């Protein structure tokens, strides 16, 4: 096998094997930052004002202290901080979506606290929307992240069964809080897994827009529905993204996400570059939220594809150690993809 590899690849694999033996682990179990140090060109990150490879992490960290406290309390079986925080977001639908997303993740790991909340306050509309979100996450855990051809019949059956539970939970959440767009976002999320026809999806979409016409998370999920691999096509996805971005600069990230999903290389298209430039104006260097980190990741993808490496380094500097956003999170090794892209950006940028 070694004779089939070029000398450079063979040398890199040998270095990785030596390091794995030194640590007493398999090569596949080496930390991503170690693999990056062994495999990627040497770049002095401190010279660029960037953290060292071993400081970068894909772990989720909640900078919002109230949210961090609610998630920590939930992990300890306590539901009241979550209930109070979620209630405080009423009317701020973007904040509500962020809280529901975080609490749904917490409940998918252990829903003891959510069950206790439902038992203590059966009429509280808050736990209904968290339950719907949790079931979406559980459904995807049942299905797995592999391609359809690699997914077993049992996984598909379980996936659909839990999605149907999520749909009923979303319907219930919408009934108990009719002004809340969050259950409709959840319903839009599961529409692709349940293979909704276009008319059925558009009916849901109308309900969502009536409550929050610029709901970011719903637009991201709708983009997925309209893409080629689910219920749409490259053209339908691109049209949806362009229309949304033209509606508001807050949705400028969508054409970049569409370029990522497109079957052809669209990163240099005029509309994508225009959306990128709009997005960059909305990314102050001191802003750090989950949505902003996603936006920075997508901006970096577009900047790299357009050979705008200096600007990509600026965005990496703003991200610092945080590799928990998109598109890194789509990779089996988010940290390595982050470090690989960062190294390439620095290697091609003008010297600091």
State the DSSP code for 316: H
Taking residue 317's Cβ as centre, other Cβ atoms within 10 Å add up to 15
Given a cut of 50, is residue 3 above it in pLDDT? no
Tell me the pLDDT band of 175, cut-offs 50, 70 and 90.
very high
Structure token pair of residue 311: 């600007």
| pLDDT higher than threshold 60 for residue 4 | no
Pick the range with the lowest mean pLDDT from 33-37, 188-192, 305-309.
33-37
Q: What is the pTM of this model?
A: 0.88
Residue 45 pLDDT > 60, yes or no?
yes
- DSSP lists the bridge partners of residue 322 as 57
Q: Is the pLDDT of residue 1 over 50?
A: no
344, 313 Cβ separation under 8 angstroms: no
Rounded CA separation 234/236 (Å): 6
Residue 57 φ then ψ, to 5°? -140, 150
Residue 320 class from Cβ within 10 Å (0-12 exposed, 13-18 middle, 19+ buried)? Answer: middle
Q: What is the mean pLDDT of residues 125-144?
A: 92
> Could you tell me which residues come within 8 angstroms of residue 280 by beta carbon, excluding any fewer than 6 positions away?
299, 311
Q: What is the mean pLDDT of residues 69-97?
A: 96
Q: What does the pLDDT look like over 99-112, one tens digit per residue? A: 999 999 999 999 99
Query: Where residue 96 falls among pLDDT bands split at 50, 70, 90?
Result: very high
Task: Band the pLDDT of 192: cuts 50, 70, 90.
Answer: very high
pLDDT level of residue 2 (50, 70, 90 thresholds): very low
> According to the model, what pLDDT value does residue 116 have?
97
Would you give the DSSP letter of residue 266?
-
- pLDDT above 70 covers a percentage of the chain that reads 90
């Amino acid at each position: 096998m070694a004779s089939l590899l070029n000398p450079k690849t063979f040398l890199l694999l040998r270095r990785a094997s030596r390091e794995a033996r030194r640590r007493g682990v398999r090569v596949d179990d080496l930390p991503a930052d170690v693999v990056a140090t062994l495999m990627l060109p040497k770049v002095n990150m401190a010279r660029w004002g960037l953290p060292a490879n071993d400081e970068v992490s894909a772990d989720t960290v909640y900078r919002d202290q109230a949210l961090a406290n609610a998630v920590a309390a939930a992990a300890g079986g306590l539901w009241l901080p979550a209930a109070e925080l979620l209630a405080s977001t009423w009317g701020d639908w973007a904040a509500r979506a962020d809280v529901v997303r975080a609490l749904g993740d917490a409940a998918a790991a252990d829903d003891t606290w959510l069950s206790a909340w439902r038992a203590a306050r059966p009429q509280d509309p808050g736990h209904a929307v968290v339950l719907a979100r949790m079931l979406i996450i559980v459904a995807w855990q049942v299905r797995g992240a592999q391609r359809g051809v690699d997914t077993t019949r049992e996984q598909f059956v379980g996936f659909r069964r839990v999605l149907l539970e999520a749909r009923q939970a979303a319907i219930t959440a919408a009934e108990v809080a009719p002004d809340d767009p969050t259950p409709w976002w959840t319903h839009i999320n599961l529409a692709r897994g349940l293979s909704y026809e276009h008319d059925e999806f558009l009916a849901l979409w109308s309900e969502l827009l009536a409550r929050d016409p610029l709901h970011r998370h719903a637009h991201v999920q709708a983009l997925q529905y309209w893409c080629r691999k689910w219920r749409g096509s490259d053209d339908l996805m691109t049209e949806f993204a362009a229309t949304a971005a033209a509606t508001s600069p807050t949705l400028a990230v969508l054409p970049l996400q569409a370029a990522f999903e497109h079957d052809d290389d669209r990163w240099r298209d005029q509309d994508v570059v225009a959306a990128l430039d709009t997005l960059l104006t909305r990314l102050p260097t001191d802003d750090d939220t989950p949505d902003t980190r996603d936006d920075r990741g997508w901006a970096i993808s577009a900047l790299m594809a357009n050979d705008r490496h200096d600007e990509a380094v600026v965005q990496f500097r703003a991200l610092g150690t945080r590799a928990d956003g998109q598109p890194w999170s789509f990779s089996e090794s988010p940290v390595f993809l982050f470090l690989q892209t960062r190294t390439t950006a620095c290697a091609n940028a003008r010297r600091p």
